[in-house]
Amino acid sequence: MNKIFMNQVGYLPGSVKRAVLNFPAEDFRVVDENGDTAYEGKTRHFGNDDISGEDTYVADFTILSEAGSYRLEAGDVKGPEFKVGYACFDKLKRDICKCFYYLRCGDALARRYAGEYYHEPCHMSKATVYGEDVEPVDVTGGWHDAGDYGRYSTAGAVAVAHLLYAVRFFPNILDLEFDIPKEKCDNGQLPDLLAEVKVELDFLMKMQRENGSVWHKVTTFNHADFIMPEDDKNELFLFPVSSLATADIAAVFALASGIYKDYDKAYADKLMERALLAYDWLRENPKEVLFRNAEGSNTGEYPEAEDYSNRYWAACSLYETTSEGCYYQDAMEQKAKLEAFNKVATMKLYQGDVMTCLGWGDDGGLGGLSLILKKEDNALTLAARESFVNEAKRLVANGEKNGFNLCMERKDFIWGSNMELLKYMMVLTVANLINKDEAFEDAIVAGLDYLLGCNSMDVSYVTGNGEKAFKNPHLRPTAVDDIEEPWPGLVSGGPNIGLQDEKAQTIPKDSAAMKCYLDDVACYSLNEITIYWNSPLVFVMAGLK
């Protein structure tokens, strides 16, 4: 079918503006709300590529900068409505942040703020410490991870990190209000984003044992059926501690301490105390403590092959906040181990330069962010800067290989491919701060365009944002709440050539990577949502120029 693929939400006035057509139209026009032609241009034939499965024609209308609401047309084909203007992403930004509120676990949702998406308190019972004969522990609160009701420490820490690094790099994001209950602090009220993040930080504190180590996750033994969270009454288990979770928590508590100190001194001190407690445990336990699911349990595993990247991140974050040389030394040591490991690794969790990885699996890049923020010219910081800039150049080069200017290759389309993209967009954003480059900026816009509809699925991967936004996330409450529309602002995992669930396997195996997607509630490997797929988008939107 003849289609015009494009960002269905909007473009900032000064940014590059492109649409992709899958049919040979020479001319295109952009019409405004009154049907008047605002811009006319000629397409450029790009042709076929490795990822989209389309013969592509590119329509560039960068010149159009006047604020308004438009459609792009070619022949008798009409594209979706989109906006141009400085405010075009305001709703999107509020929506993507508010989703963390809807994902809150415990007794924190209020009708006043959650409206029809309100649900009763959930997962309020104490959790059994798996395999140990000790008293059950109160670990209520935090955010549900995703479409399931598990709460996982490494995933939570990384989502919080994306949000807090956004605050550090782009403090204006704290002006964003998204209608959640405000928390009191020394300064009166916490900004919305910090109030929301505190919910997860408070929970993560409960996940820390007295000896400083951190339980890897709290979940029921197996995933709940498709029921509302308050109906999920099965026993909760705290599964064993890992050095992965402990290091991530040391890193993120130190980072948070540096931010909350401006709002609530006592809370910031407590965070730092806990960060140090976790770090002491890591020192006393230099051998990695990885994580595997208990026999027969099927909730999220978040397995990692080593803990060097986590320890590197912790060391960098503590160095950033304390300036103590011992952390710098530790960071050097962990980086050397990580690089040596990756030379011989058979199971790599990342696709790009390991020192720029920003996910739950590999988080060396998060350590890099701390160093970049500290702005010293020591060897580690120089290396981090260089890694980010070189990786950004690699990404720009990738974009030249397809009609969508998308910085991804076929192998990037794994489970949660939209996060692979968002992590790349974070790298481009940071690289652009180090070495301003229009090519980096254009690649970020192309990534955002892809996410918001400029893809060969012709879908916006953010609910409630875009004429053809996906509607059927693999998300338990949405699936069973009898409400037509899902919460707005959820980011889908997106296309995945691995097709790792039954419904996904109805898609032909040799399909183009971009087309390995279905907007179907059953497709957990293609269409789930998670806190750490929303959080990098918050970072990217905070940094967008």
Instruction: Identify what 448 binds: ligand G3I, ligand 9MR, Zn ion, none; CB under 5 to 8 Å per kind.
Output: none
Taking the least distance from each CB to ligand G3I, the nearer of 152 and 279 is 152
Taking the least distance from each CB to Zn ion, the nearer of 148 and 391 is 148
Q: Is 119 exposed, middle or buried (0-12, 13-18, 19+ CB in 10 A)?
A: middle
Taking the least distance from each CB to ligand G3I, the nearer of 34 and 346 is 346
Q: Does residue 229 touch Zn ion according to CB under 5 A?
A: yes
Interaction site with ligand 9MR (CB under 6 A): 146-148, 223, 298, 300, 524, 528
Taking the least distance from each CB to Zn ion, the nearer of 246 and 530 is 530
Residue 29 beta carbon to Zn ion: minimum distance, rounded to whole angstroms: 50
Taking the least distance from each CB to ligand G3I, the nearer of 390 and 500 is 500
- Cβ neighbors of 330 (< 8 A, separation 6 or more) are 311, 315
Instruction: Identify what 530 binds: ligand 9MR, ligand G3I, Zn ion, none; CB under 5 to 8 Å per kind.
Output: ligand G3I
Question: CA 156, 361, 352: angle at the middle one, nearest 5?
Answer: 130
Sole binder of Zn ion in the list 4, 103, 105, 194 (CB under 5 A): 105
Residue type, 39: Y
- Distance CA(322)–CA(258), nearest Å, equals 10
Q: Which of 14, 92, 22, 93 is nearest to 53 (CA)?
A: 22
Catalytic position from the list 49, 148, 412, 501: 148
Q: Which of 382, 407, 381 is nearest to 393 (CA)?
A: 407
Residues 169-198 contacting Zn ion, CB under 5 A: none
Three-state secondary structure of 174-218:
HHCCCCCCCCEECCEECCHHHHHHHHHHHHHHHCECCCCCEEEEE
Question: What separation, in Å, do the N-terminal and C-terminal C-alpha atoms of the chain show?
Answer: 35
Q: Write out the DSSP string of 367-381.
A: HHHHHHHHT--SHHH
φ, ψ (nearest 5 deg) of residue 159: -65, -45
Bridge partners of 59, per DSSP, are 19
Residue 70 beta carbon to ligand 9MR: minimum distance, rounded to whole angstroms: 38
What are the tokens at 237? Answer: 């288990």
Instruction: Return the axis-axis angle of helices 438-451 and 531-543, rounded to nearest 10°.
Output: 140
Q: Which residue has the tokens 């602002």?
A: 489
Residues 111-130 contacting Zn ion, CB under 5 A: 122-123
Residue 150 beta carbon to Zn ion: minimum distance, rounded to whole angstroms: 10
Look at residue 349 and give its three-state secondary structure: coil
Catalytic position from the list 123, 144, 162, 474: 474
Instruction: Identify what 361 binds: ligand 9MR, Zn ion, ligand G3I, none; CB under 5 to 8 Å per kind.
Output: ligand G3I
Residue type, 19: A
391 a catalytic residue: no
Residue 355 beta carbon to ligand G3I: minimum distance, rounded to whole angstroms: 16
Residue nearest to Zn ion (CB): 105
Q: Yes or no: say if 329 and 128 are a contact pair by the CB < 8 Å rule.
A: no
45 a catalytic residue: no
Taking the least distance from each CB to ligand G3I, the nearer of 125 and 222 is 222
Instruction: Identify what 307 binds: Zn ion, ligand G3I, ligand 9MR, none; CB under 5 to 8 Å per kind.
Output: none
Catalytic position from the list 54, 200, 320, 528: 528
Taking the least distance from each CB to ligand G3I, the nearer of 194 and 499 is 499
Instruction: Identify what 223 binds: ligand G3I, Zn ion, ligand 9MR, none; CB under 5 to 8 Å per kind.
Output: ligand 9MR
Residue 157 beta carbon to ligand 9MR: minimum distance, rounded to whole angstroms: 18
Taking the least distance from each CB to ligand 9MR, the nearer of 247 and 349 is 349
φ, ψ (nearest 5 deg) of residue 48: -85, 160
Q: Which residue has the tokens 């652009």?
A: 432
Residue 476 beta carbon to ligand G3I: minimum distance, rounded to whole angstroms: 11
Q: Yes or no: say if 186 and 194 are a contact pair by the CB < 8 Å rule.
A: no
Interaction site with ligand G3I (CB under 6 A): 145-148, 150, 300-301, 348-349, 361, 411, 414-416, 498, 500, 524, 528, 530
Residue 235 beta carbon to Zn ion: minimum distance, rounded to whole angstroms: 14
Please, which contacts does 262-269 make with residues 24 or more away whose CB atoms are closer than 8 Å?
262/187, 263/185, 263/186, 263/187, 263/190, 263/194, 264/185, 264/186, 264/187, 264/190, 265/186, 267/185, 267/198
Instruction: Identify what 298 binds: ligand G3I, ligand 9MR, Zn ion, none; CB under 5 to 8 Å per kind.
Output: ligand 9MR
Q: Yes or no: say if 153 and 160 are a contact pair by the CB < 8 Å rule.
A: no
474 a catalytic residue: yes
Taking the least distance from each CB to ligand 9MR, the nearer of 48 and 298 is 298
Instruction: Identify what 229 binds: ligand 9MR, Zn ion, ligand G3I, none; CB under 5 to 8 Å per kind.
Output: Zn ion
Residue 222 beta carbon to ligand G3I: minimum distance, rounded to whole angstroms: 12
Instruction: Identify what 105 binds: ligand 9MR, ligand G3I, Zn ion, none; CB under 5 to 8 Å per kind.
Output: Zn ion
φ, ψ (nearest 5 deg) of residue 144: -60, 145
- Distance CA(434)–CA(427), nearest Å, equals 11
Q: Does residue 109 touch Zn ion according to CB under 5 A?
A: no
Instruction: Identify what 349 binds: Zn ion, ligand G3I, ligand 9MR, none; CB under 5 to 8 Å per kind.
Output: ligand G3I
Q: Which of 544, 542, 491 is nearest to 173 (CA)?
A: 542
**Ramachandran sector of residue 284 (left: φ over 0; alpha: ψ -120 to 50; beta: rest):** alpha
- Distance CA(223)–CA(296), nearest Å, equals 11
269 a catalytic residue: no
Catalytic positions are: 148, 474, 519, 528
Binding site for Zn ion (CB under 5 A): 105, 122-123, 229
